[in-house]
Amino acid sequence: MRKKMIAGNWKMNMTPSKAKELVTLLEPSIDIPDVDVVLCVPAIDIMPVTDIVKGTNIKVGAENMYYEEKGAYTGELSAEMLTDAGVSYVILGHSERRQYFHEDDAIINKKIKKALEHNITPIACCGETLGQRECNVTLNVIRKQIQEMFEGIDAFDAADCIIAYEPIWAIGTGKVATAEQAQEVCHSIREVMKDLYDNITADKVRVLYGGSMNEGNALSLLTQPDIDGGLIGGASLKMEFAKIVGSAHTNVAV
């Protein structure tokens, strides 16, 4: 039985003062032992947020990380810096990083390997554009992304990674994939993991859906057999996030 996970992606929002206010308000309702709750926050918010959630079940994640160990890479953050600051998850390969910062699957692969080396759990993102969906190539696109992101990673490590299926046309647009569309792709991600590795790995890896998930649609998505949770952008900046965590919790209890 895979444990449900709800991860927030704050993107470039929330000053440290605002971050402290929001997490202080959210904390009592999102500290739930049977759901893994992760707040992926801008680098400058990591330490203040870590301080607030200390002693709870809530974990802190980063939104990006560099693949080199250390050195002359102005502006970048290393895995060691993140772990020392209290980070246990990192979002890698988000479509905004692919689009605006030209990250490709080969770069993301190096980042995943570096995160794993430092015991940071990668939340590796994949997803198709609207054009690709309309051309019926979604499953091919996803297969290629997963194959390249997981190149050279063994089954033991792969099973511990989180994969987030985020159709690009659904991110920040208010257009959510239907539960059937999301389930179809999340199921096919598990099939790809079966082909790349084995049944045990495919069964163990957690697959999240992301793209305009909110309190209204969370339950129908989270009750799909291959959807193990959500990666939440806009709604993670509000108290609504607690409602989404609540939907995952209800789903566990059922």
Q: Which residues bind ligand PEP (CB under 6 A)?
A: 9, 166, 171-172, 210-213, 231-235
SS3 of 226, please? coil
Closest CA to 164 of 90, 58, 252: 90
How many Cα neighbours within 13 Å face the side chain of 232?
28
Residue nearest to ligand PEP (CB): 233
Inter-helix orientation angle 46-53/16-30, to 10°: 30
* Of residues 153 and 171, the one with the C-beta less far from ligand PEP: 171
Instruction: Output the DSSP codes for 2-37.
Output: PPEEEEEE--S---HHHHHHHHHHHHHHH--TTEEE
SS3 of 230, please? strand
Minimum separation from the CB atom of position 152 to ligand PEP (A): 26
Minimum separation from the CB atom of position 235 to ligand PEP (A): 6
Residues with a catalytic annotation lie at 94, 166
Three-class HEC string of 133-178: HHCCCHHHHHHHHHHHHCCCCCHHHHHHCEEEECCHHHCCCCCCCC
Q: In 10 A of CB 252, how many CB atoms?
A: 15
* Of residues 46 and 202, the one with the C-beta less far from ligand PEP: 46
* CA atoms of 253 and 123, how far apart (whole Å): 25
Minimum separation from the CB atom of position 148 to ligand PEP (A): 20
* Of residues 7 and 82, the one with the C-beta less far from ligand PEP: 7
* CA atoms of 35 and 137, how far apart (whole Å): 33
Minimum separation from the CB atom of position 203 to ligand PEP (A): 25
* Of residues 45 and 201, the one with the C-beta less far from ligand PEP: 45
* Of residues 63 and 226, the one with the C-beta less far from ligand PEP: 63
Minimum separation from the CB atom of position 162 to ligand PEP (A): 12
